[in-house]
Amino acid sequence: VSTQSTGKYEKIDRKAEGSAGKQFAHFVKVGYNRARQVTGEKLGTAQRTEYDREFQDLCNRVDKHAFWANMLTSKVELVLQPNPAYRFEDFVTEKLGNEREIRHTYTEQLGICMLNAGSDMSSSDYGQALLIMGDYENRIGESEHKMIKQAFVKFVKPFMDAASKEGAINNERRTLTALRLDLDAAKNRVRAAKTADEMKELENFVDEAQKKFDEQYEICREVLEERDQANAEMVVHLEDLCQVQVDYFKAATELCQEMCSKVLNRPTKGKAPARKRKDSSSDEE
């Protein structure tokens, strides 16, 4: 029984090995034909199938949008978070699927510093001015923090989500390129055929390659048209970014004007003895 079982397993293993060997040989052959086709195209010795103008324009629009969307997102993030270490930390946090850490803005840090300094010198007019400014700088920083959060949610995040889908689109386009190379390689082999029987056999490969190429071509067209339409609709996020900045600068301007008024009209102003500045010209005399 054990001998029969062993023989059975050997037959299965040999069959599997033979199948794997054929697959590997086919893979090597396809890769060789594609590489040969690419080389021929670069040297101008091989003909290639050209995409229609409409499809090529569609590809160019999608590529341009992807490039500039990436550039715009990085620049907006630079404005929102100038610290490169924090930006990298936020990037890793996003990749891990966690929420970004809430940090004090630089304006909030300035406000906190002024409040601490003012508390330490609260008995002086200088200290009272610091307390007023620190309170308002802190409030401006809070408004800035709100702007940063809204800008990320309404602009950066949608563009990052769109960029995450580019991988699937690029995979479809790479598949189309590979099938296009297979098709052109098959056509060039037909042209090089020496006999009618050989040409007829190779034409069957061309028909099969053409069918696969046409199917993938339509899949790519549908995917790219969908992406192109989604890209056009991204303009709403630019509008959102405009409104976020308007709200922030309006609130910051109002707070700055109120801060200036409070500092200039503080109750302790003029109560501290003013020091006389030395006149350098009189000292020289």
Give the pLDDT confidence of 227-257 residue by residue, as tens digits.
999 999 999 999 999 999 999 999 999 999 9
Task: Give me the pLDDT at residue 238, please.
Answer: 94
Residue listed under structure tokens 């007829």: 200
Whether the per-residue pLDDT at 212 is higher than 80: the answer is yes
**Mean predicted confidence (pLDDT) in 81-102:** 77
* pLDDT over 70 (residue 175): yes
Number of Cβ within a 10 Å radius of residue 195: 8
pLDDT band for position 20 (50/70/90)?
low
On the question of pLDDT at 133 being above 50, the answer is yes
Task: Judge if pTM exceeds 0.75.
Answer: no
User: What's the pLDDT at 270?
Assistant: 77
The b/e string for 122-144 (b: 16+ C-beta within 10 A; e otherwise) is eeebebbbbbbbbbbbbbbbbbb
Average pLDDT over residues 22-34: 67
User: Would you state the pLDDT for residue 26?
Assistant: 59
Share of residues in the chain with pLDDT > 70 (%): 82
- 40 close to 34: Cβ distance less than 8 angstroms: no
Residue of higher predicted confidence among 88 and 272: 88
pLDDT at 285: 46
pLDDT on residue 1: 47
Rounded to 10 degrees, the C-alpha dihedral 145/146/149/151 comes to: -110
Find the range with the poorest average confidence among 28-32, 73-77, 119-123, 231-235. 28-32
- Residue 144: strand, helix, or coil: helix
Q: Retrieve residue 265's tokens.
A: 């009209």
What is the average pLDDT score of the chain? 83
